[in-house]
Chains A and B, each alone.
Chain A
Amino acid sequence: MSLYQTQKFLYHLNRDPAVQQRYRDDLPALLAHYELTDEERDAILAGDIGKLYVLGANGQLLMHFAALLGMPWADYLEAMRDGVRRHGPVRAGIYAMTTSTDEKVAGV
């Protein structure tokens, strides 16, 4: 797993409007610049927030990708819960889930 490369992509995407434009124009070409596993590449191509969360993406990076995808806050939280339902617990990083998938701490 190359979590570092996944997070590096998200870091560039979040902070650089030029990268955001390349994201919209030709995402596969943009992703060729990062050493991603097929699993990571597929998750990014699909905008699969839940899978990226399970792969260990730092929430401070991931929540902005979700915002870029037009995902409201409640949907972002639910997408992560859904990722855990589908793929099991978070595999790396420091953003593991400590509540259950049917719990909504803040009501959303």
Chain B
Amino acid sequence: MSLVFAGVCSHAPGITGRAHLADPASKDAFHAEFHALGDALAKAKPDALIVIAAEHFANFFMDNMPAYAIGMADHYDGPIEDPGWLGIAKTRVPGNAALSLRLIRSVMNEVDVAFAEEWKLDHGIMVPLHFLTPTYELPVIPVNINCQGPPLTPLTRAWAFGAALRTACDAVPQRIAIVGTGGISHWPATPDSGKINEAWDREFLARWQRNDRAALLDYTDESTYRDAGQGGFEIRTFIAVAAAARGRGTIRHYAPIPIFSVGCTVGTMDVA
């Protein structure tokens, strides 16, 4: 059928794992918008959800690091982390291997994507699913862009990857939703955890809402590392969604919550 929904969100493990340490009003406002994104997703009646994530060494490591990978299994287990630490119980999430195969074959025409018939979901996907599909009934297709182990794929390729996903979605009979998830500026898992460059975030999100390809790609890894930390490398997931959706975006929530280590973001983008 086609792409029927596009969105973006944060995924920091503190959003669930350290929820009790956050200011309750800030946390509740963010969690409510996160759940609302799930409601909007459900209204689009998708048959499957593609989550474009930036995983953190749950499946892929520097011995053989793919720039891009797509899951191709009928189920995925997660979270790989300690459930007490993350605040999310271990579960099995349905996939759709046949649909993955069709999408992967299509994407391969444009981008040399790796595939994975086994995939352990980490917080990068489990935190979004916890809010978006809390009963874990919607089949998920995990997608990864390497944002952790340099050298990292250029932003221009992240755009091309998102565009290739769109072409692939439009060629299958199912209704597909796509959600990209990443930090914007953040310095996670370092002593700087909680540092957030709000001005940088708001500028990036403004470019994303305009779906301004040239402006979105006008970052270097050097400038991102300096201004937005290593967590900023995850803008690749937002860029891929913009390329896939083609429309204008709406940021429904943005607020720095330091104990979550990130400017907490929820957004949707028109599919055009």
User: Pick the contact of A107 from B56, B120, B195, B258 — CB < 8 Å?
Assistant: B258
**Contact between A98 and B57 (Cβ–Cβ < 8 Å)?**
no
Q: Is the CB of B62 within 8 A of A7?
A: yes
In the complex, what residue of chain B is closest to A3 when comparing beta carbons? B62
Which residues, 149 to 165 on B, are CB-close (under 8 Å) to A? Answer: 149-150
With beta carbons under 8 angstroms apart, the residue of A68, A97, A105 that contacts B258 is A105
Residues facing B in A14-37 (CB within 8 A) are 14-15
Q: Binding site of A, secondary structure by majority: helix, strand, loop or mixed?
A: helix
Complex CA gap A77/B150 in Å reads 24
Q: Beyond A8-B61, A98-B195, is A107–B189 a contact (Cβ under 8 Å)? A: no
Kindly identify, within residues 189 to 229 of chain B, every residue whose CB is under 8 Å from any CB belonging to chain A.
189-195, 225, 229
Choose one: A4, A15, A62; the contact of B80 (CB below 8 Å).
A15
The reply on A81 being an interface residue by CB < 8 A is: yes
Q: Number of contacting residues on B, CB 8 A?
A: 33
Q: B227-265, CB under 8 A of A: which get 1 and which 0?
A: 001100000000000000000000000000011010000
Please give, as numbers and ranges, the residues of chain B lying within 8 Å of A43 by CB-CB distance: none
Cross-chain contact B62 with A99 (CB below 8 angstroms): no
Q: How far is the CB of A69 from chain B (nearest CB, A)?
A: 12
Residues on B with C-beta less than 8 A from A63 are 189
Does A77 contact B188, Cβ atoms closer than 8 Å? no
Given A58-B148, A94-B225, do A11 and B191 touch, yes or no (CB 8 Å)?
no
**For the complex, is B82 an interface residue (Cβ under 8 Å from A)?**
yes
- A106 and B80 contacting across the interface, CB-CB below 8 Å: no
A14-B80, A15-B120, A107-B259 as given contacts; A95 in contact with B190, CB under 8 Å: yes
Q: How far is the CA of A64 from the CA of B230 in the complex (A)?
A: 18
A53 smallest CB distance to B (angstroms): 8
Asked if A59 and B81 make an inter-chain contact with CB atoms under 8 angstroms apart, the answer reads no
Q: Is the CB of A15 within 8 A of B82?
A: no
Answer yes or no: B187 CB below 8 A from chain A CBs: yes
Neighbouring A residues of B57 by C-beta, 8 Å:
11, 14-15, 58, 60-61
**What separation, in Å, do the CA atoms of A53 and B262 have in the docked complex?**
21
> Bound state CA distance, A101 and B191, in angstroms?
8
**Does the CB pair B85–A67 fall under 8 Å?**
yes
What sequence of 0s and 1s flags, for each residue 86-102 of chain A, a beta carbon within 8 Å of any chain B beta carbon? 00000000111111010
Please judge, given known A-B contacts A64-B81, A107-B259, whether A98 and B192 are in contact too, CB under 8 Å. Answer: yes
Residues in B with CB closer than 8 Å to A77 are 191, 193
Set A4, A62, A108: member contacting B189, Cβ < 8 A: A62
Give me the interface of A with B, judged by CB distance under 8 Å: 4, 7-8, 11, 14-15, 53, 58-64, 67-68, 73, 77, 80-81, 84, 94-99, 101, 103-108
- 12 new A-B contacts, CB < 8 A, other than A63-B189, A77-B193, are A7-B62, A14-B80, A15-B59, A59-B189, A60-B56, A81-B191, A97-B192, A99-B195, A103-B191, A106-B258, A107-B259, A108-B259
24 CB-based A-B contacts, threshold 8 Å: A7-B61, A11-B57, A11-B61, A58-B148, A60-B148, A60-B189, A68-B82, A81-B191, A84-B191, A94-B225, A94-B230, A95-B189, A95-B190, A97-B192, A98-B187, A98-B192, A98-B195, A99-B191, A99-B192, A99-B195, A105-B193, A105-B258, A106-B259, A108-B194
